[in-house]
Amino acid sequence: MWTALAMTAALSFAPQQAANLELTNVRPTMGLFGAPRNDEKAPKLVPGDILFYCFDIEGVKVGEDGKVKYSVGMEWKSKAGKLLFKEEPQPLEIINSLGGARVPGFIAATTTPDTPPGEYTLTALVKDRASNKEASFTKTFEVVPSAFALVRLMLSIDEAGALPAPPLCVPGQRLVVNFHVTGFDRDKTTKQPNITFKLRIKEKDKPVLGKDAGGDIKSAPENYKMIQANFQLQLNRPGRFTVELESTDEIAKKTASHSFEVVVQELLK
Protein backbone atom coordinates (compact mmCIF):
# COMPACT_ATOMS: atom_id res chain seq x y z
CA MET A 1 0.00 0.00 0.00
CA TRP A 2 2.83 2.36 0.82
CA THR A 3 5.58 3.02 -1.66
CA ALA A 4 7.93 5.95 -2.02
CA LEU A 5 11.20 6.94 -3.58
CA ALA A 6 13.94 9.44 -2.89
CA MET A 7 16.12 10.52 -5.77
CA THR A 8 18.16 13.47 -6.97
CA ALA A 9 19.09 15.12 -10.23
CA ALA A 10 22.52 16.55 -10.90
CA LEU A 11 22.97 20.09 -12.20
CA SER A 12 24.76 23.01 -10.59
CA PHE A 13 24.61 26.78 -10.48
CA ALA A 14 25.77 29.72 -8.31
CA PRO A 15 29.44 30.76 -8.14
CA GLN A 16 29.85 30.77 -4.36
CA GLN A 17 29.62 28.29 -1.49
CA ALA A 18 27.25 29.21 1.36
CA ALA A 19 28.19 28.75 5.01
CA ASN A 20 25.08 26.72 5.88
CA LEU A 21 23.32 23.84 4.20
CA GLU A 22 19.87 25.02 3.09
CA LEU A 23 16.97 23.54 1.13
CA THR A 24 15.43 26.27 -1.02
CA ASN A 25 12.92 26.65 -3.86
CA VAL A 26 10.82 23.81 -2.46
CA ARG A 27 7.80 23.14 -4.70
CA PRO A 28 5.48 20.24 -5.62
CA THR A 29 5.69 19.46 -9.33
CA MET A 30 3.89 17.45 -11.99
CA GLY A 31 6.54 14.79 -12.39
CA LEU A 32 10.30 15.18 -12.27
CA PHE A 33 11.41 18.40 -14.05
CA GLY A 34 7.72 19.30 -14.35
CA ALA A 35 5.94 22.58 -13.76
CA PRO A 36 4.63 23.40 -10.25
CA ARG A 37 1.29 21.78 -9.43
CA ASN A 38 -1.84 23.92 -9.55
CA ASP A 39 -2.50 22.99 -5.90
CA GLU A 40 1.00 24.02 -4.83
CA LYS A 41 0.00 25.35 -1.39
CA ALA A 42 -2.05 22.31 -0.36
CA PRO A 43 -1.49 19.32 -2.69
CA LYS A 44 -4.44 16.93 -2.99
CA LEU A 45 -3.83 13.50 -4.50
CA VAL A 46 -6.30 11.00 -5.88
CA PRO A 47 -5.21 7.52 -4.75
CA GLY A 48 -2.73 6.27 -7.35
CA ASP A 49 -1.02 9.62 -7.94
CA ILE A 50 2.62 10.52 -7.20
CA LEU A 51 3.65 13.61 -5.26
CA PHE A 52 7.03 15.06 -6.25
CA TYR A 53 8.77 17.74 -4.19
CA CYS A 54 11.67 19.34 -6.03
CA PHE A 55 14.16 21.59 -4.24
CA ASP A 56 17.67 23.04 -4.34
CA ILE A 57 20.40 22.01 -1.90
CA GLU A 58 22.40 25.16 -1.25
CA GLY A 59 25.79 25.36 0.43
CA VAL A 60 27.22 21.90 -0.25
CA LYS A 61 30.97 21.41 0.10
CA VAL A 62 32.48 21.11 -3.36
CA GLY A 63 35.89 19.63 -4.12
CA GLU A 64 38.33 21.27 -6.51
CA ASP A 65 37.27 18.74 -9.13
CA GLY A 66 33.60 19.69 -8.60
CA LYS A 67 32.79 16.51 -6.69
CA VAL A 68 29.90 16.70 -4.19
CA LYS A 69 29.14 13.94 -1.69
CA TYR A 70 25.71 14.07 -0.12
CA SER A 71 22.68 11.98 0.88
CA VAL A 72 18.91 12.27 0.40
CA GLY A 73 16.22 10.35 2.27
CA MET A 74 12.60 10.80 3.27
CA GLU A 75 9.89 10.00 5.80
CA TRP A 76 6.16 9.62 5.18
CA LYS A 77 3.84 9.89 8.18
CA SER A 78 0.12 9.93 8.92
CA LYS A 79 -1.59 12.96 10.46
CA ALA A 80 -1.29 11.24 13.85
CA GLY A 81 2.46 10.97 13.41
CA LYS A 82 2.63 7.25 12.60
CA LEU A 83 5.61 6.42 10.41
CA LEU A 84 4.30 4.77 7.24
CA PHE A 85 7.47 4.69 5.19
CA LYS A 86 11.08 5.71 5.68
CA GLU A 87 14.01 5.68 3.32
CA GLU A 88 17.31 6.29 5.04
CA PRO A 89 19.44 8.95 3.32
CA GLN A 90 21.05 7.29 0.32
CA PRO A 91 24.70 8.16 -0.38
CA LEU A 92 25.01 10.10 -3.63
CA GLU A 93 27.97 11.59 -5.49
CA ILE A 94 27.98 13.93 -8.47
CA ILE A 95 30.25 16.37 -10.28
CA ASN A 96 29.18 20.02 -10.29
CA SER A 97 30.33 20.53 -13.87
CA LEU A 98 29.18 24.16 -13.91
CA GLY A 99 30.76 25.02 -10.56
CA GLY A 100 28.96 26.53 -7.60
CA ALA A 101 27.55 25.04 -4.40
CA ARG A 102 24.03 24.15 -5.47
CA VAL A 103 22.60 20.72 -6.27
CA PRO A 104 18.94 20.25 -7.29
CA GLY A 105 17.21 17.25 -5.73
CA PHE A 106 13.80 15.76 -5.12
CA ILE A 107 11.78 13.28 -3.13
CA ALA A 108 8.57 11.58 -4.20
CA ALA A 109 5.79 9.63 -2.52
CA THR A 110 3.84 7.14 -4.61
CA THR A 111 0.27 6.38 -3.58
CA THR A 112 -1.69 3.39 -4.87
CA PRO A 113 -5.42 3.00 -5.60
CA ASP A 114 -5.66 1.45 -2.09
CA THR A 115 -4.02 4.29 -0.17
CA PRO A 116 -6.54 5.47 2.50
CA PRO A 117 -7.80 9.07 2.26
CA GLY A 118 -6.42 11.44 4.87
CA GLU A 119 -3.77 14.01 5.70
CA TYR A 120 -0.09 13.07 5.55
CA THR A 121 3.33 14.64 5.94
CA LEU A 122 6.39 14.15 3.77
CA THR A 123 9.84 15.03 5.12
CA ALA A 124 13.05 15.39 3.11
CA LEU A 125 16.28 14.42 4.91
CA VAL A 126 19.46 15.79 3.34
CA LYS A 127 23.08 15.55 4.48
CA ASP A 128 26.32 16.96 3.09
CA ARG A 129 28.62 14.00 3.69
CA ALA A 130 31.74 16.12 3.22
CA SER A 131 30.88 18.70 5.92
CA ASN A 132 28.44 16.54 7.97
CA LYS A 133 25.85 19.33 7.80
CA GLU A 134 22.18 18.35 7.64
CA ALA A 135 18.96 20.03 6.51
CA SER A 136 15.32 19.02 6.16
CA PHE A 137 11.82 20.25 5.38
CA THR A 138 8.34 18.85 6.04
CA LYS A 139 5.29 19.37 3.85
CA THR A 140 1.65 18.39 4.37
CA PHE A 141 -0.53 16.87 1.66
CA GLU A 142 -3.92 15.18 1.45
CA VAL A 143 -5.08 11.98 -0.21
CA VAL A 144 -8.73 12.44 -1.19
CA PRO A 145 -11.33 9.68 -1.73
CA SER A 146 -10.96 7.62 -4.90
CA ALA A 147 -12.43 9.20 -8.04
CA PHE A 148 -12.15 9.05 -11.81
CA ALA A 149 -8.95 10.97 -12.53
CA LEU A 150 -5.80 11.38 -14.58
CA VAL A 151 -2.77 10.77 -12.38
CA ARG A 152 1.04 10.44 -12.58
CA LEU A 153 1.29 13.04 -15.34
CA MET A 154 4.89 13.32 -16.51
CA LEU A 155 6.67 14.50 -19.65
CA SER A 156 9.42 12.35 -21.10
CA ILE A 157 11.46 11.92 -24.25
CA ASP A 158 10.65 8.20 -24.46
CA GLU A 159 7.36 6.33 -24.55
CA ALA A 160 8.19 4.26 -21.47
CA GLY A 161 8.55 7.42 -19.36
CA ALA A 162 12.00 6.40 -18.14
CA LEU A 163 13.68 9.62 -19.36
CA PRO A 164 11.87 12.62 -17.80
CA ALA A 165 11.77 15.88 -19.73
CA PRO A 166 11.03 19.47 -18.71
CA PRO A 167 8.28 21.58 -20.36
CA LEU A 168 11.00 23.79 -21.88
CA CYS A 169 12.11 22.61 -25.31
CA VAL A 170 13.47 23.60 -28.74
CA PRO A 171 11.96 23.08 -32.21
CA GLY A 172 12.51 19.58 -33.51
CA GLN A 173 12.13 17.87 -30.14
CA ARG A 174 9.52 15.26 -29.36
CA LEU A 175 7.74 15.08 -26.02
CA VAL A 176 5.67 12.20 -24.71
CA VAL A 177 2.82 13.06 -22.32
CA ASN A 178 2.61 10.08 -19.95
CA PHE A 179 -0.29 9.54 -17.54
CA HIS A 180 -2.52 6.92 -15.91
CA VAL A 181 -6.29 6.86 -15.60
CA THR A 182 -7.85 5.53 -12.40
CA GLY A 183 -11.23 5.30 -10.68
CA PHE A 184 -13.03 4.11 -13.82
CA ASP A 185 -16.06 1.83 -14.01
CA ARG A 186 -16.35 -1.41 -15.95
CA ASP A 187 -19.22 -2.78 -17.99
CA LYS A 188 -21.32 -5.09 -15.81
CA THR A 189 -21.44 -7.77 -18.50
CA THR A 190 -18.06 -7.65 -20.26
CA LYS A 191 -16.11 -6.37 -17.22
CA GLN A 192 -14.21 -4.08 -19.58
CA PRO A 193 -13.66 -0.30 -19.37
CA ASN A 194 -14.66 2.24 -22.00
CA ILE A 195 -12.44 5.29 -21.67
CA THR A 196 -11.90 7.97 -24.31
CA PHE A 197 -9.17 10.61 -24.49
CA LYS A 198 -8.69 14.00 -26.12
CA LEU A 199 -5.61 16.17 -26.38
CA ARG A 200 -5.89 19.80 -27.45
CA ILE A 201 -3.05 22.31 -27.83
CA LYS A 202 -3.75 26.04 -27.62
CA GLU A 203 -1.75 29.17 -28.33
CA LYS A 204 -3.13 32.40 -26.89
CA ASP A 205 -6.34 30.52 -25.98
CA LYS A 206 -6.93 29.33 -29.56
CA PRO A 207 -6.51 25.71 -30.72
CA VAL A 208 -3.55 25.31 -33.08
CA LEU A 209 -5.25 22.45 -34.95
CA GLY A 210 -8.77 22.05 -36.30
CA LYS A 211 -9.18 18.61 -34.74
CA ASP A 212 -8.17 17.25 -31.33
CA ALA A 213 -5.95 14.20 -31.03
CA GLY A 214 -7.84 11.28 -29.52
CA GLY A 215 -7.81 7.69 -28.43
CA ASP A 216 -9.63 5.12 -26.33
CA ILE A 217 -9.16 2.13 -24.06
CA LYS A 218 -11.80 -0.61 -24.24
CA SER A 219 -10.01 -3.56 -22.70
CA ALA A 220 -7.82 -4.18 -19.67
CA PRO A 221 -7.21 -7.10 -17.28
CA GLU A 222 -9.88 -7.23 -14.58
CA ASN A 223 -7.35 -6.70 -11.78
CA TYR A 224 -6.12 -3.40 -13.28
CA LYS A 225 -7.22 -0.42 -11.18
CA MET A 226 -5.01 1.94 -13.18
CA ILE A 227 -4.28 2.04 -16.92
CA GLN A 228 -1.32 3.82 -18.51
CA ALA A 229 -1.61 5.89 -21.69
CA ASN A 230 0.34 8.57 -23.54
CA PHE A 231 0.30 11.12 -26.36
CA GLN A 232 3.20 12.33 -28.48
CA LEU A 233 3.93 16.01 -29.13
CA GLN A 234 6.03 16.92 -32.18
CA LEU A 235 7.41 20.39 -31.45
CA ASN A 236 7.86 21.96 -34.88
CA ARG A 237 8.00 25.68 -34.03
CA PRO A 238 8.71 28.08 -31.16
CA GLY A 239 5.98 29.50 -28.94
CA ARG A 240 4.21 29.20 -25.60
CA PHE A 241 1.49 26.58 -25.68
CA THR A 242 -1.17 25.19 -23.32
CA VAL A 243 -1.72 21.44 -23.48
CA GLU A 244 -5.21 20.30 -22.43
CA LEU A 245 -5.70 16.63 -21.70
CA GLU A 246 -9.23 15.28 -21.14
CA SER A 247 -10.56 11.80 -20.44
CA THR A 248 -14.12 10.49 -20.21
CA ASP A 249 -15.39 7.34 -18.55
CA GLU A 250 -18.10 6.50 -21.07
CA ILE A 251 -19.69 3.98 -18.70
CA ALA A 252 -19.95 6.22 -15.62
CA LYS A 253 -20.27 9.40 -17.73
CA LYS A 254 -17.52 11.12 -15.76
CA THR A 255 -14.79 13.42 -17.07
CA ALA A 256 -11.31 14.27 -15.79
CA SER A 257 -8.82 16.78 -17.17
CA HIS A 258 -5.34 18.28 -16.78
CA SER A 259 -3.68 21.27 -18.42
CA PHE A 260 -0.10 22.52 -18.44
CA GLU A 261 2.20 24.81 -20.42
CA VAL A 262 4.99 23.89 -22.81
CA VAL A 263 7.48 26.53 -23.95
CA VAL A 264 9.35 25.94 -27.20
CA GLN A 265 12.17 28.39 -27.90
CA GLU A 266 14.68 28.85 -30.69
CA LEU A 267 18.24 27.66 -30.16
CA LEU A 268 20.71 30.36 -29.19
CA LYS A 269 22.74 31.74 -32.09
pLDDT at residue 125 tops 90: yes
pLDDT at residue 172 tops 90: yes
Nearest 5 degrees, angle CA 83-CA 127-CA 32? Answer: 75
Tell me how far the alpha carbon of residue 183 is from its chain's centroid: 20
User: Any residues with CB less than 8 A from the CB of 253 and at least 6 apart, and which?
Assistant: none
pLDDT at residue 7 tops 60: no
pLDDT at residue 181 tops 90: yes
pLDDT at residue 88 tops 60: yes
Q: How much is the pLDDT for 37?
A: 87
pLDDT band at 199 (very low <50, low <70, confident <90, very high): very high
Q: How much is the pLDDT for 8?
A: 41
- 3-state SS record for 139-184: EEEEECCCCCEEEEEEEECCCCCCCECCCEECCCCEEEEEEEEECC
Q: What is the pTM (predicted TM-score) of this model?
A: 0.87
| pLDDT tens digit sequence for 12-39 | 333 444 568 999 999 999 999 988 888 8
| pLDDT tens digit sequence for 218-251 | 999 999 999 999 999 999 999 999 999 999 999 9
The topology under which CATH files domain 149-264 is: Immunoglobulin-like (2.60.40)
> Could you tell me which residue, 9 or 213, shows the higher pLDDT?
213
Q: How much is the pLDDT for 269?
A: 66
Same fold, 3-143 and 149-264: yes
User: Any residues with CB less than 8 A from the CB of 27 and at least 6 apart, and which?
Assistant: 36, 40, 53, 54, 55
Q: How much is the pLDDT for 19?
A: 65
Cβ 243 vs Cβ 199: under 8 Å:
yes
Q: How far is residue 5's CA from residue 72's CA, in Å, rounded to a whole number?
A: 10
Domain ranges of the chain: 3-143, 149-264
Query: 3-143, which class in CATH?
Result: mainly beta
Cβ 103 vs Cβ 70: under 8 Å:
yes
| Percent above pLDDT 70 for the chain | 93
